């Protein structure tokens, strides 16, 4: 098995949009391609973000495989749409997810970092008592910006990124940061998985991480195929 999540910096819809060619961070994709070609593994697996069709098509052409588009929301309390190129399987059953919501993973009896919203604009009303939200810098007027709290319209958290303010939570009229345990749970990791590193590093690591239950759905197909292969060999 060769697996990778190459940098999204230059292909993300919110990123630099420089693509996968030339001297860009996202050009690291070609090293994944090179390794797969040289090693010829039984299985290979690549993850990346939702991106412009130009770059998605270029990766698909290079790998001779279209991506499987999945949202972690089926397995996690966060909205996290990703593209997966792989030869492990051509389909993942969405019915296996338990569709958790944000309030299911929160820690209530602990200290939290509450956000001062005094000078921040609420651009819409929260639909739920516990609501996922984010703090954005939005332009208004002429050459002016203001900090805006934007609420989700479902009961999920925003996609975790390397920036903490992209994933906040609104509870009973107040806004707070998600702590590291809550972020771990959104990625389906065990509590205290990141206890050996600082909070800032943990936020970045978890923002770049894979949602474990999603990856398990792919890899269980690999395990099944291997078991079938082994039993056939034994029978022969």
Q: What is the pLDDT of residues 159-213, one digit of tens each?
A: 999 999 999 999 989 999 999 999 999 999 999 999 999 999 999 999 999 999 9
Q: Is the model's pLDDT at 100 over the cut of 60?
A: yes
Give 189's DSSP letter: P
Alpha-carbon distances, residue 227 vs 157, 221, 233 (angstroms): 37, 10, 10
Give 179's DSSP letter: -
pLDDT score, position 188: 97
Phi-psi region of 72 (alpha: psi -120 to 50; beta: other; left: phi over 0): alpha
pLDDT tens digit string along 38-93?
999 999 999 999 998 999 999 999 999 999 999 999 999 999 999 999 999 988 87
Angle formed at CA 215 by CA 81 and CA 224, multiple of 5 degrees: 135
Bridge partners (DSSP) of residue 46 are 4, 85
């Amino acid at each position: 098995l060769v697996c990778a999540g190459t940098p999204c910096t230059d292909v993300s819809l919110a990123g630099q949009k420089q693509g996968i060619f030339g001297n860009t961070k996202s050009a690291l994709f070609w090293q994944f391609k090179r390794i797969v070609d040289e090693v010829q593994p039984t299985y290979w697996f690549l993850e990346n973000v939702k991106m412009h069709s130009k770059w998605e098509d270029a990766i698909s052409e290079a790998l001779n495989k279209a991506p499987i588009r999945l949202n972690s929301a089926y397995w996690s309390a966060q909205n996290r749409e990703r593209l997966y190129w792989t030869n492990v399987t051509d389909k993942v059953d969405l019915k296996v997810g338990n569709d958790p919501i944000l309030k299911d993973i929160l820690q209530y009896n602990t200290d939290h970092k509450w956000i001062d919203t005094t000078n921040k604009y609420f651009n819409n009303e929260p639909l739920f008592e516990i609501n996922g939200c984010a703090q954005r810098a939005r332009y208004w007027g002429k050459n002016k910006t203001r900090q805006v709290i934007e609420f989700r319209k479902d009961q999920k958290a925003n996609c975790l990124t390397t920036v903490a303010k992209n994933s906040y939570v609104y509870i009973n009229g107040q806004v707070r940061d998600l702590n590291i345990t809550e972020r771990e749970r959104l990625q389906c990791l065990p509590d205290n998985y990141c206890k050996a590193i600082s909070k800032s590093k943990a936020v970045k690591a978890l923002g770049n991480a894979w949602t474990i239950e999603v990856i398990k759905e792919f890899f269980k197909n690999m395990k099944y195929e291997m078991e079938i292969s082994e039993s056939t060999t034994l029978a022969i």
